[in-house]
Structure 1
Amino acid sequence: MSDNQPQQYPGYQPQEPYGPPYDRQPAPQPYDPYAQQQPQYGHGQEQYGQDTYGQDAYGQAPYGTPPPADPAAFPSQHHQATLTPQEPDARQHPQPARPGTTAAAPAAASTAHLAPNQRARAEGRSPIIAPGMQPAVLTAVLAALLALTAPLPRPVLAVPVVLLQAVTAAGWFRLNGMWPARQGIALAFLAGFTTDAALLATDRADAPVVAIGTLGVWCMFVLVLQLRNRSSADERMYALTAGLTSTALAVLASGHLAAAPHAVSVGAAAVAVATLARALPLPSFVSVAIALVAAAGAGIGAGQLTGFGTSGALLGLAAGGCALIGLRVASYDYPSRFVHMTAGVALPLALAAPAVYVLGRALG
């Protein structure tokens, strides 16, 4: 054994005075300031000072990080990442849009998929559109038919009344967004037609009893129809409500057939004039006032011609007010042209029928 080598003993491990040799030391790792784990934050940031683009808060990409594939996919984060250290106020006080930028383009694109009534609300416009002059002219024509046939025998008056009931039944279902609803429309129309037949077979004084009786029978038919409906509970309830209302309106329209002939003429004239006046291109409150005054004036004029007298002013005012209510209902929530040509034409006359019947008996 050489004198320069240390003596070996069992369990003895030689120690190296200066640590392990260089070839057994672990390889040093390159310094990476971004390799430190930082606390996690909310959506849109992976680490503090580093967003989902692989950029830090000042727009500098860390070493070895590829550029973003699609910066437009995250516009808000891209805007934050492009700020420079010389722009500390830009993060707190956003700059206004430069002149020439199309600020209205995003708003138009965001409302393009909406329905007309929803788009009108989003753009700050009224979703209510009145029927206009063309439906008003059709209402005036139908009212003129009622006024001219009122002095004639009742079967002749029943012809425009049946036409009014048909348009009322179809228009109400379309106004509620239910089209085609053939069975519901048919039931409502048959309810009105049955009421007309019963009124022709009885005296005018028995009109309330006849109307209530036929309305009860046909409402039961509407209920039976909805019991056969296999839709959801909400849809069945909605269809039942629309069917009952349409049936009631068709029965109410038969009030022209039960009212006194002179009252029908006065009321129809008032409805025609009020509807035409409401369709004039005037401010809303001015148009309503003019329509009511015109209805009262038409009532006086028709009363003088038919022998109803000056009390026709009150009847005309009441019929004109009911006509305006019918127009407002037909204008509900941005309706379609078909609604204006059905409900917008029929509802003013249908809603005026009870006033014509009651006031005609009270004032005549």
Structure 2
Amino acid sequence: MTDQPYEGSYDPYQQQAWPGEQPQQGYQQQGYQGQQGYDDPHAAQAQQYQQYAQQWQGQTWEPQPQQPYGVTGQPLPQEGQFQGQAPAWNQAAQPQAPAPVSAPDEAADEESDEGDYGPATLVGNSRITDAQRAREEGRSPIIEPGMQPAGLTALLGLLVSGAAAVNSYALLVPLIALQAVTAAGWFRLNGMWPARQGIALAFLGALAADVALLAAGRENAPAAILGTLGVWVLLTLVLQLRSHADPDERMYGLMATVASAALSIVAAGYLAAEPDAVTVGAAAAAVAVLARALPLPTPASIVVSLLAAAGAGIAAGGMTGFGARGALLGAGAAACALIGHRVASYDYPSRFVHFTAGVALPLTAAAPVVFVLGRALA
């Protein structure tokens, strides 16, 4: 036996890789041919098999470190993979914090919000009211009804003026229409809509006042009007106390209902006044509202309205027994009509307010003056 190594021997721990099989790291050896330089046919054959295994399906099996797997079955991220953000497989499971908004983005958002605010309109704004925006910009929160409501007011005033010259029952037709529009317009002007119960209650009070005036006669007109008003205030108070609404809402509804009923009942003053005074006063109020709707500066428009009403009073007084005294009655009725016109223009009212309160309030506000001055000047 010799001490020389046996030629062609192979290492029993030599691992030969076969196609599709990955060798274990740490046991891979290249054989004695590559390490010791012996010409071993078995080692050459093993090396050839390794080359086939490396090139199987066009891929190499270069040893790579195995990635640990998490509980979801996905490999855990390696060092340096995050780069400031979570991996895609973990983003859905992690709560996403909102990204901080930089100063330029905040400025851009403010500019976009300001761009949503258009000019003040009758439609309104979802963020602030048009009246509030007008006050912040130093503008007046008043929009006047315009020519169309003024035309309707003039038509209704002329109907009242002409019907008063016929008889009291003919006057009831335009008067009832005036009282109904007054009740609905006042509630809508106060932002309460729909308010069917309050409108119906105020209108019924006006009808009750009309019936009381026809039954009591003109000589007892003040008692009939004040008595009806007192009864309706008490009735309104009782109904509001039985309401289950919030206390503040009940108080607001009580005040709106009482005011609406009072105005509708006061409009019955045309039925209580002298017929000639109604003819002069209603015609003067109609002319004053038309003149107020002209496109003139407010001070000039008021002066023109009063002068036109005085002229209309003189003209209507010439056809009745008032004569030149009709100028004073016409000017007084016109002054109250302009107050009603101003109230209907308050705080950017809607189109519905313009065609209800804007039409009725000027004539309704003129009714007490027509009653008082008509009796004083008759």
Local SS of the residue matching 1:162: helix
Distance 1:242 1:78 in 2: 44
Give yes or no for the alignment of 1:332 onto 2:360.
no
One-letter identity of the residue aligned with 2:250: R
Distance 1:121 1:168 in 2: 28
Distance 1:153 1:282 in 2: 38
Match of 2:219 in 1: 205
> Which of 332, 339, 345 does residue 359 from structure 2 map onto?
345
Match of 2:270 in 1: 256
> Which of 189, 194, 203 does residue 189 from structure 1 map onto?
203
> Which of 299, 306, 309 does residue 292 from structure 1 map onto?
306
> Which of 256, 273, 281 does residue 242 from structure 1 map onto?
256
Match of 2:179 in 1: 165
Distance 1:359 1:169 in 2: 25
Give yes or no for the alignment of 1:108 onto 2:115.
yes
The offset of 1:307, in angstroms, is: 2.3
The offset of 1:140, in angstroms, is: 0.4
Identify if the C-alpha distance between structure 1 residues 334 and 77 changes in structure 2 by more than 3 Å, giving closer, same or farther.
closer
Distance 1:151 1:78 in 2: 70
The offset of 1:120, in angstroms, is: 2.6
- Mean Cα deviation higher: 153-162 or 333-342: 153-162
The offset of 1:151, in angstroms, is: 1.6
The offset of 1:234, in angstroms, is: 1.1
Identity of aligned residues (%): 60
Match of 1:154 in 2: 168
Identify if the C-alpha distance between structure 1 residues 351 and 109 changes in structure 2 by more than 3 Å, giving closer, same or farther.
same
Match of 1:362 in 2: 376
Distance 2:303 2:197 in 1: 40
Give yes or no for the alignment of 1:176 onto 2:190.
yes
Distance 1:153 1:279 in 2: 31
> Which of 136, 143, 159 does residue 129 from structure 1 map onto?
143
Distance 2:186 2:245 in 1: 21
Give yes or no for the alignment of 1:75 onto 2:107.
no
Local SS of the residue matching 2:144: coil
The offset of 1:76, in angstroms, is: 7.3
Match of 1:307 in 2: 321
Give yes or no for the alignment of 1:118 onto 2:132.
yes
Match of 1:280 in 2: 294
Local SS of the residue matching 1:118: helix
Distance 1:227 1:256 in 2: 33
The offset of 1:115, in angstroms, is: 2.3
Identify if the C-alpha distance between structure 1 residues 74 and 232 changes in structure 2 by more than 3 Å, giving closer, same or farther.
farther
Cα deviation, 1:264-309, whole Å, max 9, x if unaligned, reads 0110111011000111111111111111111111111111111211
Cα deviation, 1:185-237, whole Å, max 9, x if unaligned, reads 11100111011011111221110000011111111111111012112211111
Local SS of the residue matching 2:138: coil
Distance 1:212 1:271 in 2: 24
- Mean Cα deviation higher: 166-175 or 110-119: 110-119
One-letter identity of the residue aligned with 1:107: E
* Structure 2 residues not aligned, in runs of 5+: 1-82, 86-97, 119-124
One-letter identity of the residue aligned with 2:246: S
One-letter identity of the residue aligned with 2:116: A
Distance 1:160 1:194 in 2: 16
Identify if the C-alpha distance between structure 1 residues 167 and 110 changes in structure 2 by more than 3 Å, giving closer, same or farther.
closer
Q: Give the alignment's TM-score, normalised by structure 2.
A: 0.69
Distance 1:299 1:323 in 2: 14
Local SS of the residue matching 1:121: helix
Distance 1:74 1:178 in 2: 44
Match of 1:266 in 2: 280
One-letter identity of the residue aligned with 1:223: L
Distance 1:241 1:74 in 2: 51
Match of 1:316 in 2: 330
Aligned length: 279
The offset of 1:322, in angstroms, is: 0.3
Distance 1:137 1:317 in 2: 19
Local SS of the residue matching 1:310: helix
One-letter identity of the residue aligned with 1:218: W
Distance 2:138 2:333 in 1: 34
